[in-house]
Chain A
Amino acid sequence: MTNCRALYVHVPFCRTLCGYCDFYSEVLTAGRAAPLVAALVRELAGYAARGVFERFDTVFVGGGTPTVLPPSELDRLLRAIHAYVGPVGRLEFTVEANPATVTDEVAAVLAANGVNRVSIGAQSFSRAELRVLDRTHDPDDVVRTSAQCRRAGIRQISLDLIFGIPGQGLDSWHESLRAALALGVEHLSCYGLTYEADTPLLRQRDAGLIKPVDEEVETEMYETAIDWLAGAGLPQYEISNFARPGAQCRHNLVYWHNQPYVGIGPAAAGFIDDVRYKNVADTAAYVEAIQNGRSPLGEREQLAPARRAGETAMLELRLVEGIDRQRFAERYGQDPVVMFSDAIARHGAAGLLAVSVTHVRLTRAGLLLANRVSADFL
């Protein structure tokens, strides 16, 4: 059985819902936190009892907004997780936080349970843009939250930023990048706004109520981020991620290297023993299943070797370093250059892929067209 070294925990509650977000979440109402936390703890204990893992090297508590949990419940959850983590020196323990949800008390709870990385959903430093995204916080809240975490002793801070927000101009994007760098963060995630299916944002766009940013401008925003952040000492290491040397998110690297991980909570995905699974995206149903000792799984897929190899290629192409040919060959018995010769020849000729002795990676042009390229590895 796989020895999973990574854990993802999904806390599906938010204070309010945002129009662009399509992760599973719901508004937290009174009395719902405790049963969820109890269920999470029980699901985790179940995996422990099955010997799926021994100790976790990386933990990522995401959502939703984990920090909206009442401090006592958050404490109970993090304490339970903390019982399964490895030695402090090797541990990366991340909790997602939204600005304006972190109090000194919450920051203290995080630090006390070994959390050493906080990922703050800043999204933008423009009030107008935050309103378009339905975010309820203020740019100043980001600064405050970051400072609180630092004060509590949390070593690594990451910010999420979004570009391509309706109404956003190049200047404003530059302003957000500058503001983030001014906070001295170790890590930045810069996401291009995606109009996801079934979101209020998409409906607004289709109804003509908002005007998407011109594609040329959005491309320029992305390229600016890549260049600026490299110059500021946070080079890009994945399509949307930038970090100081040594501060890459090790938990997300588990996904991108297609390594196994345990996922718990409603709508959480996991990958154990070549089986991908996803829990039901319904908190009540999830809690009820766990309480009654039933499986909370919603989907389950056993990966055949060919599919596994394709997925690994698709995921590793997201990394700036690309696919490590030797490691890939050790895992799947064939050099990716042979296994995907057609796709590599085609996209190589178009200047979208570069092949070196050690790696296959996207070029700068390829990075902008990553979907086109990686689809051909599936």
Chain B
Amino acid sequence: MDQQHIRNFSIVAHIDHGKSTLADRFLQRSGAISERDLKEQVLDDMDLERERGITIKASAVTIHMEVDGETYMFNLIDTPGHVDFHYEVDRALAACDGALLVVDATQGVQAQTVANAYAAVNNNLDIIPVINKIDLASATPEDAALEIEHVLGISAENVQFVSAKTGEGVQELVRAIVQHLPAPQGDPQAPLQVLIFDSEYNDYRGVICYVRVMHGTVRKGQKVLLMGRQRTHQITELGKFRPQMTACDQLAAGETGYMVASIKSLHDVTVGDTITDAAHPAPQQLPGYQPPQHMVFCDFYPSTGETFDALREALERLSLNDASFSFTPQHSDALGPGYRCGFLGLLHMDIVQERLERECGVSVVQTAPSVTYEITLRDGTRKRVESAGDLPEMGHIEELREPIIELAIITPADSIGNIMQLAEQRRGEYKKTEYLSPQRVLLTYEFPFNEILYDFYDKLKSMTRGYGTMDYHVIGYRASDLVKLDILINTVPVDALSLICHRTKAEARGRRFLIKLRREIPRQQFEIRLQAAIGSKVIAAESIKPFRKDVTAKCYGGDVTRKRKLLEKQKEGKKRMKTVGRVEIPQKAFMTVLEPED
């Protein structure tokens, strides 16, 4: 098909604004799937994604649409919908020529609408604003359109009003795509440049790369070079998702599809890499390539009753289809052998932890997540530190730097005061306020990343009655007066409980942390002493009294089952615990590190 009849575009939206429903509606319109097959959100194929209402992996589907008697090829490139996956979103957008910016007519512009719109603009994409859910009684489509114009500077003139659910307005939208989004402009005769914008692992085929041919033509059997990784492979299969995998012999400039080249592990492929001909390589890579950046780290240890081997096997299995987390063996003095894992962000961490338990049946104790710090030692060496436990003694450190994010918050105007207060508690630095409408504002802040790690989003949600949304990205590192706070249990420092915090907050933080720990650690047969210390100076202490008595008086008549179940439940509670010395510490205690100051 000639390039004039191809449209490569992505649908971007804030969570739950209807991106996937719209994609499904296109599929159904094109005849790629029947009405009967149109279950909700065909493009999200992991259970977990569907449950959480988010899209983790990108998908790319090719459909044919009839517009005014001519047939067009639409390549729909789906993007991950969460803040953790910025880089993947960015690379998926790089594979497009245009984007549909979907906004919920009942909710208007949200933080990720803004983030996604900017990402699309940065990739030089033409944007069609789409106001969705116009069938709902509470919809105010004109207001949403005005917000788009006001905040994003995208003319309301081209706005399309649709209901992806009922199909209303979708035909007009299809025509608008043909009219307003540009056709690809690659040169089929130029040296080959193919962008890998996503990849997945398949048990039978190995790694499947999602690709967009920017220039040249790629053929089955061709020997290709991955320019970033400097590896060569032979292409065994090319094809398109329609939405089932459908093989073809070649993909020409402007087209989107998949490539299989007997690549065994996802770790051998990097999203954003460029594929070129091995014999006649392109002079340069496509721009924007980056190795994956892990922003958040935590340790996983096998719970009581689980083995290290079971954990290792489970992590290896998960990494087959998620190359974006890393895991390296780690030994904690307190917790024994486990793994240090790196994630794109907090949600990504939660997903991996949940999949470990759900898909692999491995129960883990997870330490509190930490951001990556940069340190300069007195001898001038610089290094990165992924957890407080790895920090050298403070005396050896010349400078400690922490990651800083830029945070965008969209909120009802009447919550500004509360948010400003929260920001102050968390060392936030105010940047600017922009009014979207008289009722809603976009606030921009800079925060130390570790201040928003844990419950910031929950706090924001509750102080804005659920209306507040946020989006962030890391902008760099900044030196800060940070100290390491150690926690000792029966005088033994527990590395997995230590934390890094600002000096001015250390004492109060330590005291409160111990009070929380006292609540979380169950009483045991002996007294447990808890201490918080900075260096050798103990700044707070608490103790947990031993229990004297744990005996059920009655045997419940002859109801032995009931008695047994009670005891079994008690025993079950011991799972997801870790024994430090003789003290059993539940999973929750490790997470209390993160609980905030109030």
> A: which residues have CB within 8 A of B?
8, 10, 23, 62, 190-194, 215-216, 218-219, 222, 239-240, 252, 255-256, 258, 261, 263, 268-271, 276, 278, 299, 301, 310-311, 314-315, 318, 350, 367-372, 374-376, 378
Contacts and interface: CB of A to CB of B under 8 A. Distances in A.
B561 A368 contact: no
B557 A314 contact: no
A268 B564 CA distance: 16
Contact of A368 (B551, B566, B568): B551
A292 B556 CA distance: 29
A191 B554 contact: yes
Contacts of B379: none
Contacts of B553: 190-194, 239-240
B552 A370 contact: yes
28 contacts: A62-B557, A191-B553, A193-B553, A194-B552, A215-B549, A216-B548, A219-B549, A255-B555, A256-B555, A269-B558, A269-B561, A271-B560, A276-B560, A276-B561, A299-B561, A310-B564, A311-B564, A367-B551, A368-B548, A369-B549, A369-B550, A370-B550, A370-B552, A371-B567, A372-B550, A372-B570, A374-B567, A375-B571
B312 interface: no
Q: State the majority secondary structure of interface residues on B.
A: loop
Contacts of A278: 559, 561
B564 A314 contact: yes
A348 to B, nearest CB: 14
Contacts of A192: 549, 551, 553
A258 B570 contact: no
Contact of B560 (A194, A258, A370): A258
Nearest to A258: B560
A120 B338 CA distance: 57
B547, B548, B550, B552 pick with most chain A CB within 10 angstroms: B548
Contacts of B558: 8, 255, 261, 263, 268-271
B5 interface: no
A23 B557 contact: yes
A240, A252, A310, A375 pick with most chain B CB within 10 angstroms: A375
Contacts of B554: 191, 194, 240
B525 interface: yes
B555 A315 contact: yes
A369 B551 contact: yes
B264 interface: no
Contacts of A378: 564, 567-568, 571
Contacts of B563: 314
A301 B548 contact: no
A311 B558 CA distance: 12
Given A278-B561, A376-B571, 20 more contacts: A23-B556, A62-B557, A192-B549, A194-B552, A215-B547, A215-B548, A215-B549, A255-B560, A258-B560, A261-B558, A269-B559, A269-B562, A270-B558, A278-B559, A314-B564, A370-B552, A371-B567, A375-B567, A375-B571, A378-B571
A268 B558 CA distance: 8
Closest 5 CB pairs of A and B: A191-B553, A375-B567, A269-B559, A370-B551, A219-B548
A55 to B, nearest CB: 19
A8 B559 CA distance: 11
A113 B424 CA distance: 80
Given A369-B525, A371-B567, A375-B571, A315 B551 contact: no
Interface of B: 525, 547-564, 566-568, 570-571
Given A218-B549, A222-B549, A368-B550, A318 B564 contact: no
B105 to A, nearest CB: 45
A372 B556 CA distance: 18
Nearest to A375: B567
Contacts of A318: 555
B346 to A, nearest CB: 33
A371 B552 contact: yes
Contacts of B549: 192, 215, 218-219, 222, 368-369
A371 B564 CA distance: 10
Nearest to A312: B560
B557 A269 contact: yes
A196 B552 CA distance: 11
Contacts of A315: 555, 560
Contacts of A263: 558
Nearest to B552: A371
Given A239-B551, A368-B549, A375 B568 contact: yes
A318 B560 CA distance: 12
A17 to B, nearest CB: 17
A192 B547 CA distance: 15
A192 B556 CA distance: 13
A369 B525 CA distance: 9
A4 to B, nearest CB: 11
A378 B561 CA distance: 12
A239 B551 CA distance: 8
A283 B479 CA distance: 72
Contacts of B564: 310-311, 314, 378
Nearest to A63: B557
Given A194-B552, A219-B548, A8 B557 contact: yes
B521 to A, nearest CB: 16
Contacts of A194: 552-554
A87 to B, nearest CB: 24
A233 B94 CA distance: 89
Contacts of B555: 252, 255-256, 315, 318
B127 to A, nearest CB: 55
A258 B564 CA distance: 12
A269 B560 contact: yes
Nearest to B574: A375
Contacts of B556: 23
A371 B550 CA distance: 6
A167 to B, nearest CB: 19
B507 to A, nearest CB: 32
A314 B552 CA distance: 12
A218 B550 CA distance: 11
Contacts of A191: 553-554
A28 B98 CA distance: 76
A176 B556 CA distance: 23
A155 B596 CA distance: 66
A301 B552 CA distance: 23
Nearest to B569: A375
B111 to A, nearest CB: 39
A94 to B, nearest CB: 12
B335 to A, nearest CB: 20
A310 B571 CA distance: 14
A23 B562 CA distance: 12
A8 B549 CA distance: 30
A255 B553 CA distance: 15
Nearest to B561: A276
Nearest to B551: A370
A65 to B, nearest CB: 14
